[in-house]
Amino acid sequence: MLVRLTMICAGATAATRKGSFPSDEPLEPRSRALAKAMSGTLRRADRVWTAPALRACQTAEALSLDASVDPMLADQNYGRWAGESFDEVQALQPDEIAAWRTDPNAAPYGGESLADVAQRAAGLMDRLIAERGHTIAVTHASVIRTAILHVLSAPLAASWKIDVEPLSITDFRSDGRRWMLRACGVTALKPAKPLGS
């Protein structure tokens, strides 16, 4: 039995481009245009899901995907840090940021730890391993990173060493017994900049 999971990272927002912890803001115009440009390159899927965040739903829409919302695909909840810049939080709460970056069980106040996100991602993949066919999931970098670590049986601390770019594609395959990472970090085509710019 062939099972395929294609995870697409939601596009960037104005806030995330500035290095802020995401809240529920819309896609930036450039990300919407890039998603529209890649909409014809996706293979047919048996199921299409999206995270509940506005940027994920707008990414799915720009990709011309008729997606159902699945809460398991939600981004990490950043609690009180949502909408704040990383530099501001680092300046005001250096110990909390240090703990969050080194301890997968540490969570922003009112938020969710990386271990919590990893548990959701593993649960999603465990559920999907029995689903024949192809699933496309529009989600977030934190979910994709933890899904990769789950498949590789790697420690959560390695999450900080995986870069998941907005609109990148990560592809997993399964024979119904185990997952394999097939492709990681495939990015959307970007228009070339003119020489000399």
Q: Count CB-CB contacts under 10 A for residue 120.
A: 19
pLDDT reported for residue 106: 95
pLDDT on residue 1: 58
**C-alpha distances out from residue 13 to 17, 30, 91, 180, Å:** 6, 9, 23, 31
- CA proximity to 143, closest of 180, 118, 113, 179: 118
Q: Which two tokens stand for residue 42?
A: 């996706």
- What span, in angstroms and rounded, lies between the C-alpha atoms of 62 and 196? 31
User: What 8-state DSSP symbol labels residue 36?
Assistant: H
Angle formed by the axes of helices 54-62 and 29-38, to 10°?
40
Contact 11, 55 (CB under 8 A): yes
Encoded tokens for 11: 């596009």
pLDDT along the chain (197 residues), means of 10: 91 92 93 92 92 98 96 96 94 95 93 96 94 95 97 94 95 94 76 47
**What is the per-residue pLDDT for 192?**
44
Q: What DSSP element (H or E) covers 176? A: none
Where do the DSSP E strands lie in the chain? 3-9, 47-50, 68-69, 133-139, 169-174, 179-186
pLDDT of residue 79: 95
Walk me through the domains of the chain, giving residue ranges and CATH numbers. Answer: 3-186 (3.40.50.1240)
- What distance separates the 2 farthest-apart alpha carbons in the chain? 52
